[in-house]
Amino acid sequence: MKNITIQDIKDFKQSNSKFATLTAYDFNSAQIVDAANIPLILVGDSASMTMYGYDTTLPVSMDEMLLVVKAVSRGSKHALVVADMPFLSYQPSIETTIMNAGLLIKKGGAGAVKLEGGKRIMENIKVLVGHGIPVLGHIGLTPQSVHQMSGYSVQGKTSDGAKKIIDDAVAVENAGAFGVVLECVPEKLATAITNTLNIPTIGIGSGNTCDGQIQVFHDIMGLSQNSPPKHAKQYSKLYDAMLDVCKQYK
């Protein structure tokens, strides 16, 4: 497989080819995802929970993200590595946004970054793209705003809420993002956005009609003790398998 670029991701939409993407947080899991020919690996700030054991995505720092982004970049030969920008690494100012996105590319080895928000962060996206840093947007349920949203619930259920998310999607595309993650919005809304945008939508908990899908590595592998979210199919229960190996070894 060739090295995947943002153009390849955009081309999936033009050729009507549905695609699957996955998160990864270390060298070994990046190698596995890459070997499965998955074209895009997101080093999500979900690393906050999966790698560092925090309760939400809020505490993870730039230094902690850089460690996992570097490991994934070393493990991925072909997939496009997208690094999530952690909470407070882009909200304070445009300068902060450029510096931190630049570090994820320059030191982390990522090929693109992901930021949460729509209209509100249009300027941040524009500036990054203008400086040659590709951006994947993320709208709908944005976990870095968990307190503002009063929890992790489906977004865009009212007509006002849906309109706001459509406006956000259009803003993200107009700002120059190469794609957008739609997290936990009703399928009808995800379909409308997917039909409106020229860039691919990548859904999670948003039904089956997006151009691509994304899931968290640990959720589909059954790697953690907790049950995965409703939208994540667990293909294995690696937690139990690994526990069993430890017991046998002991």
Write each residue from 154 to 183 as x if it is in contact with ligand KIV (CB under 6 A), else as -, in one continuous string: ---------------------------x-x
The angle that helices 62-75 and 27-35 make with each other, rounded to 10 degrees, is 40
Does 45 bind ligand KIV (CB under 6 A)? Our answer is yes
**Tokens 């596995």 identify what position?**
32
Contact stretch for ligand KIV (CB under 6 A) within 40-48, 95-103, 171-179, 226-234: 40-48
Q: Pick from 44, 86, 108, 156 the residue near ligand KIV by CB under 6 A.
A: 44
The alpha carbon torsion through 97, 173, 194, 162 (nearest 10 deg) reads 70
CA distance 216 to 42: 9
Is 183 in the active site?
yes
Phi–psi pair at 166, nearest 5 degrees = -65, -45
Specify the residue, 88 or 243, whose C-beta has the smaller distance to ligand KIV.
Answer: 88
Shortest spacing between CB 185 and ligand KIV, in angstroms:
13
CA distance 146 to 164: 17
Write each residue from 198 to 237 as x if it is in contact with ligand KIV (CB under 6 A), else as -, in one continuous string: ------x---------x-x---------------------
Size of interface with ligand KIV, in residues (CB under 6 A): 12
- Give whole-number Cα distances, 241 to 115, 173, 218, 249, in Å: 35, 43, 14, 12
Write each residue from 100 to 139 as x if it is in contact with ligand KIV (CB under 6 A), else as -, in one continuous string: --------------------------------------x-
Shortest spacing between CB 159 and ligand KIV, in angstroms:
25
CA distance 188 to 210: 10
DSSP label at residue 214: E
CA distance 202 to 22: 11
Active site residues: 183
Site residues for ligand KIV per CB under 6 A: 23, 42, 44-46, 84, 138, 181, 183, 204, 214, 216
